[in-house]
Structure formats: C-alpha cells, structure tokens
Amino acid sequence: MFHRTMEFAGSWYPRRAEACEQQIRAYWNVPPPATNSPTLFGVVPHAGWLFSGRIAARVFQALESEPPPLVVVLGGHLRRGDPVVAMTEGEWETPFGLFPIHEGFRAELEKLPEVVLENERRHYPDNSTELQLPFARFKFPGAELLPIRVPPGPAALEVGRRLHAYLAANKLRAAVIASTDLTHYGDNYGFQPRGKGPAALTWVREVNDPAFIRAVEKGDSEGILAVAAERTNACSAGAVAALNELARADGLAFRPLAYATSADAGPHDTRNFVGYVGGIYC
C-alpha cells in the first residue's frame, strides 16, 4: 500500500496533533460567516500557517459541519501543458491520523488525455495539497481523500466536469477545496513589474490580486485561467477553474471571505511577498 508521509509538518504547520488542534481552534476563535445556504466548496491559500493559516481555517470553518464521505483537494503548482497529477490509492499521513485515499474516481481520471497517477516510486512533495490535509482531517475525520493536482489549462475544466458528473452519478456528497496562492512578487519570484517597496505592495493588494478575485466571482472558468496567465496573479489557477466548473453546475457563486499578503505577517517583508484569498461557493 502507498503510504504517503508528511513533508511539511513541523515547519509549515505543527507536526503534533495537540499543537495542530490548538492552532486550528485558535484560528476558529471568530464568528463563522453567515451564508444563505450550506456549502462544501471553498478556495484556500497554501502557504505556511504563519502566513495564510488563518485564512484557510476560516474557509474550513465556513463549510457545513455534517461530515461528507469524501474530501477532494484540488492542488496545483503545474504549468499549462502539464498532465493532471492524482493519488488514487493508499493513505496520506496527517497529524490527526491517516487519510484513506478514495479509489473510485480513478477510471474517470484515466479517460483524460494525460494523467500521472502517483505511487511510492513516483510522487513529489506538494504544499498546495498537503497544507489542507490537517484542516480537512480535523473537520471531517471519517472522510476519504481524493487529491488531484490540476494544470491551468483545458484539462482543469474537464476535471471539474468529470468530478461533478461522478459525484452526481454516485450520489456522493463531497467537500471540494481548491488551493491557490495569488501574486508572488519580488526578486525571489522573478516578478516585479511595479518595482520595489510599498507602492508595489499596494499595486498587488489593490490591482493585481483583485483582478483574479473578480474573475472567480464572475464564474467564468476560462476567464479565471486567462487572467492568471495574463497577470501572473495565481500560482494554481487550474485548481480554482476546476472547482468553478463543478460549483457553477450546481448554480453556486464565489464569495470571498478574507484576503491578506505575507507582508501582513512576520517578518513583514515588503520586498518579496505573496497574496492570499479565502472564500466559499454558496
């Protein structure tokens, strides 16, 4: 059996269950957002918890509490022409125990033009997925996990459509989480079209990141991919586009809940920083 271990625990988030639970409950020490209807679909960031954990936790807190049998985490960090990457067997370690992997969607994935199914010999660390697992395992302890990394191209839309059809055909309730960070700005990321300093940070906060958020609010999946490609303002736009296809088929629209940048947390670096958004489909 493919047993996948934690790669980022102890640095990006707490390794021990007690410390992890303490941190999550501290994040949840705010009133949950009021929604018109229950939701199980959310968009979260995936930096270390110091920088974006509070935003991710707020999204998980907003999800309905009745546990679904399946949690789908749509990750990214892929290029447009890359294959879809998924784990369809085994278990993934978390501070709260092992997350069993859902196997039923494998047949649908294998119908895609190009897909890589991870195994013990072929897999790579990926924070876009792993950073969500402690939240998901804590919130939904009895669920199975389906982790899929989605490139920012046409395959993203196909994944969303196939996933929606699969859930409907099998009458499966699922929490579906799309994981992306926003603009990566500065020398460290090779992207600084507005120079350096406070003016650049203001541009990211008030212009570049809002352009992506507005595209998600509009609900046009191809538009989500286009604005990310044009403005370099999302590192995993394919994950969001895939979730958008699924949510749109259910008549749901995106609602932002929180936004921040890494410059808002210690060490308050305004030379190299990343934007984060959290929100739900309802």
Quick: pLDDT tens for 148-171.
999 999 999 999 999 999 999 999
**Alpha-carbon distances of 72 from 87, 97, 153, 233, 264, rounded to whole Å:** 11, 17, 19, 24, 29
Place of tokens 């998600």: 216
Question: How high is the pLDDT of residue 38?
Answer: 73
User: In whole angstroms, what is the distance from residue 273 CA to residue 270 CA?
Assistant: 6
Bridge partners (DSSP) of residue 216 are none
Question: How many Cα atoms sit within 13 Å of 267 on the Cβ side?
Answer: 3
Bridge partners (DSSP) of residue 43 are 178, 279
156: containing domain: 3-281
What's the average model confidence in pLDDT over 131-136?
Answer: 98
Asked if the peptide bond before residue 267 counts as cis, ω within 30 degrees of 0, the response is yes
User: In whole angstroms, what is the distance from residue 53 CA to residue 35 CA?
Assistant: 21
Total tally of structural domains belonging to the chain: 1
- Other Cβ atoms within 10 Å of 119 Cβ, number: 13
Average pLDDT, the chain: 95
Determine whether 64 is exposed, middle or buried from the number of CB atoms within 10 Å of its CB (0-12, 13-18, 19+): middle
The residue ranges of DSSP E strands in 104-168, in sequence order, are: 115-117, 144-149
**Which distant-in-sequence residues (6+ apart) come within 8 Å of 226 by Cβ?**
215
Question: How high is the pLDDT of residue 71?
Answer: 98
Per-residue confidence band for 47, with pLDDT thresholds at 50, 70 and 90: very high
CATH number at residue 183: 3.40.830.10
Quick: pLDDT tens for 185-213.
999 999 999 999 899 999 999 999 999 99
**Pairing verdict, β 84-86 and 174-179:** unpaired
Question: How high is the pLDDT of residue 1?
Answer: 86
N-term to C-term CA, the chain: 37
Question: How high is the pLDDT of residue 210?
Answer: 98
Token pair of 80, please? 């447009």
User: In whole angstroms, what is the distance from residue 174 CA to residue 160 CA?
Assistant: 13
Q: Are 132 and 180 in contact (CB under 8 A)?
A: no
- Where is average pLDDT lowest: 52-66, 117-131, 264-278? 264-278
Per-residue confidence band for 36, with pLDDT thresholds at 50, 70 and 90: low
Does the predicted model carry a pTM greater than 0.75? Answer: yes
Question: How high is the pLDDT of residue 65?
Answer: 87
Per-residue confidence band for 270, with pLDDT thresholds at 50, 70 and 90: confident
**Pairing verdict, β 97-100 and 91-94:** antiparallel
User: In whole angstroms, what is the distance from residue 221 CA to residue 226 CA?
Assistant: 9
Determine whether 222 is exposed, middle or buried from the number of CB atoms within 10 Å of its CB (0-12, 13-18, 19+): middle
Question: How high is the pLDDT of residue 231?
Answer: 98
Q: Is the pLDDT of residue 222 over 90?
A: yes
Question: How high is the pLDDT of residue 30?
Answer: 76
| Residue 4, Ramachandran bin (φ over 0: left; ψ between -120 and 50: alpha; else beta) | beta
